[in-house]
Structures are given as structure tokens and as C-alpha cells.
Amino acid sequence: MQEDTIKSGMVAIVGPPNAGKSTLLNALLGQKISIVTPKPQTTRNRIVGILNDPAYQIVLLDTPGLHKARKPLNLEMVKIAVSSLSEVDVVLFLIDVSLPLPEKPARAVSYLESSSVPAILVLNKIDLLGKDQILPIIEAYNKSYPFAAIIPVSALLNSGTDVLLQELLRLLPVGPKFYPEDIPTDATERFIVGEIIREKIFLLTGQEIPYSTAVVIESFKEDAERALVTIHATIVVEKSSQKAIIIGKKGAKLQQIGKKSRHDIEKLLAQRVLLKLWVKIHKNWTKDMRFIRDLGL
């Protein structure tokens, strides 16, 4: 296909925490690139997913949730999401329609005021509501911002995503592809492995613990002869009580995190994996800007 007929562009997926941004990214790609948990603020960094087709290439940016931030880590997360608005051709503003309608929808979408590109309002989790409940939400957001389109979807059920894709192709420019056609993300295997381990911590520990943990991949060694990848990773926490919870009684929790992580990592790498986990205390790391930068945020 000629380059002057190919649609190619960048799309930022933004919105409040836990609206389903990562689930939507994975649904559009048809595979899991971004980690997903029921807890808000799971995504800390910008994840790139690349949707390839002979007629188009759409570069999707999954971003951290937009929220009122106070801690340095959270401020950086919001900054990452907002900065994405100036780098793309289209914005998808995703909301969870199963939650109560904000008192002031205009305030919820105020982040879009800094953007000069078309924005699509994506109403996620419509499978949880009736049509009569969705119409007032559409009306309220229609008054709050001049959206280019409003598309109802269920990212979890992959419903409505075909309509969303057609709307994206209508708005995206013609141009050359940004990436080779055979890669679904620009993230390194090391990065995705760290995210998988962090996902298991979110899923297997209580409310406070996941937000106080970071994962550092210390080494990643492939042994082609044995078809084995050996990974050493450190789980960083802020205090000794958190370390004790992560390790668990007789190391049971850490073993559980390791076992579930290894299962997903082996699927990702299509190889056997030897995963070794350690837990280390870095006091108040969520306020340590140097360490936050070292994490790549």
C-alpha cells in the first residue's frame, strides 16, 4: 500500500484512575501489553502499544490516571499523562460510566483545555448500565467540552472497540509509519517483566502496600543453550513492616508473587524462567526524586 494512503498517528488514552485505560489498550491490541488490576493508579509510566495493519499504524499511549496529586511520585505520574496531550494527534478521554456522574464534568475534562487536537469521549463499562442511564452522562459531558465524538464501549468485553477504531481512523492523518510492523510495543522485555511483578504485588497484597513498592530488574540473562532466562529483581518498599508483609510468613507471600509472576513472564518470553526476588527497604522512596527518576519516571 502506498505511504500517501496509510493512516498513521499517535493517540493518548487519558482519564481518571481506574477508568479502564490499560484494559482498553490491551483490547485494541488484542494482547496484554499494559498491566491491569482493580486498584486505581496501577499505571505509573506511559506505556506504548502499536496497532498495526497494512492500511494504518496507530501508536496508543496508555497513561497514568489524572487525579489531584500531592506526593512527588503522584505528581510525576500526572505530569506524564498531561504531557502526552501535546504529543499526539487524537486524545481518548476515558470515563467509567458505572461511577456517579461528577458534580462538575467540565472540571473533570479541564485537562483537555491544554490540548489542540480532537478528543473522543470514551464511555467505558457500558455493560454495567442501561441505555436510559447512559444518555444523561452523554448530555452532561457534551455540554462540558466540544468532543469530536462520543463512543460507548466495554473494554473488558471488547465491545464497541470496532466503532472506536473507525472513528480514530477518520481523525488520524495520512503519513509514514513510526515503527516496524512486527512490534506491538516499544517497551523493553526488562520493563514489561518489572511491570508483571508489580501487577502481582497489586493483586496479592492489601491497600497500602502496592503504592509503596517499586520493582527494579537487577539482571536479565538469557542462556540460549538451556533455553532459560534468569532474572534477578528487587522489590523496593518504604519501611520494615511493608517488607514483612511482602515476604509473608515463612516467605509464603514472596513465593506466591514469584510463582504467579514467573508464569506470566514465561508466556511473554516463550522460554523457561528462573526468577529470583529480593525485598529491600528504601525509606520514603516515593518522595526521593532521584530514585523516582532512576525508575524511569
Is 179 domain-assigned? no
What number of helices (H) and strands (E) belong to the chain?
Answer: 9, 9
Do 50 and 144 share a domain, yes or no? yes
Per mean pLDDT, which range of 144-153, 220-229, 233-242, 288-297 is the poorest? 288-297
Instruction: Collect contacts of 283-287 with beta carbons under 8 A, ≥24 apart.
Output: 283/238, 283/239, 284/238, 285/214, 285/236, 285/238, 286/71, 286/72, 286/73, 286/211, 286/212, 286/238, 287/71, 287/72, 287/73
- Give me the percent of the chain exceeding a pLDDT of 90: 56
Do 193 and 96 share a domain, yes or no? no
pLDDT of residue 1: 52
Do 83 and 129 share a domain, yes or no? yes
Q: Which residue blocks in the chain are alpha helix, DSSP H?
A: 21-29, 72-84, 105-108, 131-144, 161-171, 189-204, 240-247, 252-269, 289-294
Pick from 187, 177, 170, 178: nearest CA to 33:
187
Report the largest interatomic distance among the alpha carbons of the chain, rounded to a whole angstrom: 62
C-alpha of 297 from chain center: 14
Is 141 domain-assigned? yes
Do 165 and 29 share a domain, yes or no? yes
Question: Which CATH number is 18's domain given?
Answer: 3.40.50.300
Is 238 domain-assigned? yes
- Judge contact between 58 and 9, C-beta under 8 A: yes
Is 176 domain-assigned? no
pLDDT of residue 69: 60
Is 252 domain-assigned? yes
Question: Which CATH number is 225's domain given?
Answer: 3.30.300.20
What value, to the nearest 5°, has the Cα angle with vertex 236 and ends 248 and 38?
A: 70
Mean of the pLDDT values across residues 122-149? 91
Domain tally for the chain?
2
Per mean pLDDT, which range of 3-7, 134-138, 228-232 is the poorest? 3-7
Do 142 and 284 share a domain, yes or no? no
The residue among 171, 199, 226 that closes a domain is 171
pLDDT digits (tens, 9 = 90+) for 157-214: 999 999 999 999 999 999 999 898 888 888 889 999 999 999 999 999 987 787 889 9
CA distance 7 to 9: 7
Do 97 and 142 share a domain, yes or no? yes
CA distance 243 to 283: 11
Do 214 and 134 share a domain, yes or no? no
Do 11 and 143 share a domain, yes or no? yes
Is 181 domain-assigned? no
- Tell me the one-letter amino acid at 272: R
pLDDT greater than 90 at residue 152 = yes
- Grade residue 130 by pLDDT with cuts at 50, 70 and 90: confident
Is 180 domain-assigned? no
CA-based end-to-end distance of the chain: 38
Q: Which three cell numbers stand for residue 259?
A: 510463582
Do 159 and 193 share a domain, yes or no? no
Q: What are phi and psi of 100, to 5 degrees?
A: -60, 145
Is 247 domain-assigned? yes
Do 211 and 268 share a domain, yes or no? yes
Do 9 and 152 share a domain, yes or no? yes
Do 143 and 197 share a domain, yes or no? no
126 or 81: which carries more pLDDT confidence? 126
> 31 lies in which domain range?
3-171
